[in-house]
Amino acid sequence: MTETSPIATAQILRTLHIVTWGCQMNVYDSARMADVLRPLGYRAVDTPDADMVILNTCHIRERASEKLFSELGRLRAVKDARGGAMTIAVAGCVAQAEGAEILARAPYVDVVVGSQAYHRLPALIAEVEAKRRAVVDTDFPAEQKFDHLPAQQASQGPIAFLAIQEGCDKFCTFCVVPYTRGAEQSRPAAAILAEAKRLVAGGAREIALLGQNVNAWHGDGLDGRTWPLARLLAELADIPGLARLRYTTSHPRDMDAALIAAHHDNPKLMPFLHLPVQSGSDAILQAMNRRHGVDLFRRIVADLRAARPDIALSSDFIVGFPGETDADFAATMHLVRETGFALAYSFKYSPRPGTPAAESPDQVSKSLKNSRLQELQAVLREQQHDFNRAQIGRRFDVLFTGPGRHPGQMAGRSPYLQPVIVNTASLVPGTIHPVTIASANPNSLMATLNQEQIAA
Ligand code: 5AD
Ligand code: SF4
């Protein structure tokens, strides 16, 4: 027998440190990379003084590569102090975008692995060890990475993330995602349902489905037909023990009638939706190649509120997109005031190399971007605080996840994703209890447990 048993392999303990920047998909990918490396004996540690360090990078906005190279500089010192005994890998969207350029600038890097090739990490590491030279893998393989990652995953706790879709074909003119994550790919329903069941068996009560364009999901269904997201959500809702479902991030164009209806029909779908609109000006939306106008967004919001009157909305905004006039920005402010958001993320436009908008001659000045961002964020902050204050006196179920910051407290999540704190220490993480909201801070809610029967 020449085969090494998995137990013997696992006995060679090696330390692994992963630094994650960027979106929830990167957080998910980092966890999957840890899963893929676990059978090789790698165990996660909190310090960069480790046998292997992975920097999982984000390219979406400013200064991605400066941040990467300054972190690499720090790591180089640690690697030198270890006499070179450290494998440094750069993963994620900067790795995908810059590939071998990274090795040219930082020759002490061992592996550059694009966001579609994580399942090939063990082979890449073996190649580095055997040939003592760096490797780059930024291909978009035909096989889907998620379906080549190990089924055995570390437990994520009561709130789990599950990637169902990756990539994007929309090519908004400001965005690098179609280039770094490739074409839209939907995982088959069977693989998603199997992963969801494993997550629930591992303690998940809430699952957030992830994708760059998650509501564009159209995967192979269990009946051999292509399913829309609403159908997948219905099937997921049947998993015993799973209490809550969410999906993020969505595009307005893909909010079809069935998905809006799911917010009425699917009792496990939480009344909260992140739906980026980016701008309230038709001219800017068109220049962004968003392929819809402000009216479509308004109509979706109205339909969602009709389907689920208690739904709360979150969004993304970009200010200072090339050519944005005072009137365009005023239209964004108007849309924000008229819609009312529970939460929102807003950014100054950042020209991304290789994207069409970066080439535009109508770039907006830094100072105008700054002042518009401040004006927008002031209103969004106020709306978030108003939304939190409006919860005072409301009763709803909270999914408790663990101890609060102070002794004697437990923390959990409201249906609207707000952190909720109670002054009770005896709740089991993963249980759901009805509470009444007592007070609101800008970013969290204080609550008391209701005396009635525990919800689950
Ligand atoms: N500049 C500023 N913000 C951007 N986003 C994406 N690309 C850029 C860019 N080039 C924002 C969008 C998107 C969010 C994830 O990041 O608002 O919805
Ligand atoms: Fe980027 Fe989203 Fe537009 Fe796709 S839909 S290009 S991910 S902003």
CATH architecture group of domain 395-449: Beta Barrel (2.40)
List the chain domain ranges.
Answer: 14-137, 155-270, 304-388, 395-449
Whether the ω angle into residue 20 lies within 30 degrees of 0, i.e. cis, is no
Longest dimension (CA), the chain: 74
Is 349 close to ligand 1, i.e. is its CB under 6 Å away?
A: yes
Is 175 close to ligand 2, i.e. is its CB under 6 Å away?
A: yes
Topology of the domain comprising 304-388: Transcription Regulator spoIIAA (3.30.750)
pLDDT, tens only, 9-45: 445 789 999 999 988 889 999 999 999 999 899 999 9
Q: What is the pTM of this model?
A: 0.90
Is 276 close to ligand 1, i.e. is its CB under 6 Å away?
A: yes
The residue to mutate among 23, 59, 172, having the most atoms of ligand 2 within 8 angstroms of its beta carbon, is 172
Is 251 close to ligand 2, i.e. is its CB under 6 Å away?
A: yes
Please give the distance, rounded to the nearest whole angstrom, from the Cα atom of residue 181 to the centre of ligand 1. 15
Query: Which backbone phi and psi does 371 adopt, to 5 degrees?
Result: -70, -40
Atom of ligand 2 nearest to the CA of 169: 4
- The binding site for [4Fe-4S] cluster consists of 23, 58, 93, 168, 172, 175
Q: Cα separation of 369 and 319, whole Å? A: 6
The residue to mutate among 59, 253, 324, 347, having the most atoms of ligand 1 within 8 angstroms of its beta carbon, is 347
Is 170 close to ligand 2, i.e. is its CB under 6 Å away?
A: yes
SS (H, E, C) 115-143: CCCHHHHHHHHHHHHHHCCCEEECCCCCC
pLDDT, tens only, 258-287: 999 999 999 999 999 999 999 999 999 999
Which residue owns the Cα nearest ligand 2 atom 5?
A: 170
Task: Decide if 14-137 and 155-270 have a common fold.
Answer: no
CATH number of 155-270, picked from 3.30.750.210, 2.60.120.10, 3.30.70.20, 3.20.20.70: 3.30.750.210
**Structural tokens at position 423:** 């002054």
Q: Cα separation of 272 and 54, whole Å? A: 33
- Range with the lowest mean pLDDT among 140-144, 297-301, 327-331, 375-379? 140-144
CATH architecture group of domain 14-137: 3-Layer(aba) Sandwich (3.40)
Half-sphere exposure of 386 (CA within 13 A, CB side): 11
pLDDT at 456 over 70: no
For the segment 119-141, the average pLDDT, to the nearest whole number, is 85
Residue with the two structure tokens 């950014």: 347
Q: Cα separation of 156 and 446, whole Å? A: 25
Give the sheet arrangement for strand 159-163, strand by strand: 159-163, 206-210, 244-248
